[in-house]
Every structure is written in C-alpha cells, then in structure tokens.
Amino acid sequence: MSRETVEEPGGASTGQMLRLVVLILGLGAIGLSLLSYRQLRLQALHEHSAARLRQSEQDMELWKLRAEIASSVTPERVGLLATEHRLQP
C-alpha cells in the first residue's frame, strides 16, 4: 500500500508551496544582488568622474602657474639674476 498526500480541494500540496516560496526568495536574492552590483558600478563611475574633474582642475591650475612663471621670467630678469648670483661669494 502506498501513502498518498491529501490535497485540499483546489489547493496546492505543501511541497509545491514550499518550492514556490523558495523560488520567490531565490529570485528576490538574485534581484537584490543585481541591484547591489548596479549601485557599486554607479558609485565607481561617480568616483571616476570626480577624479577626472579634480585632475582637470589641477591641470588648469598648473597652466595658470606656468603662465605666471613665464610672464615673470624674461631674458632681462634672468640676466640680472645671473649677474647678482656671480657677485655673491
């Protein structure tokens, strides 16, 4: 004699309900991991963009400083500094 599970009329067996719950929880976990991965990717892109912006700002500052140095260093000024340097012991 075999044992048969008793099902409610119009309902699903306990095993099927358990499988459905496990399936829903698994899909939820997969969805959460995908959202987490997406968030990490967006954060990395944001940090990369911020670093590029800082680099661009530093490049602009560097060019300003170079222009300032170039405007203050003239052949006459270099000659004067060289003469003063030779006179000092």
Query: In this structure, are residues 5 and 13 in contact, taking their beta carbons and an 8 Å threshold?
Result: yes
State the pLDDT at residue 79.
85
State the pLDDT at residue 88.
64
SS3 per residue for 10-72 = CCCCHHHHHHHHHHHHHHHHHHHHHHHHHHHHHHHHHHHHHHHHHHHHHHHHHHHHHHHHHHH
Mean pLDDT of 56-79: 92
Give the pTM.
0.57
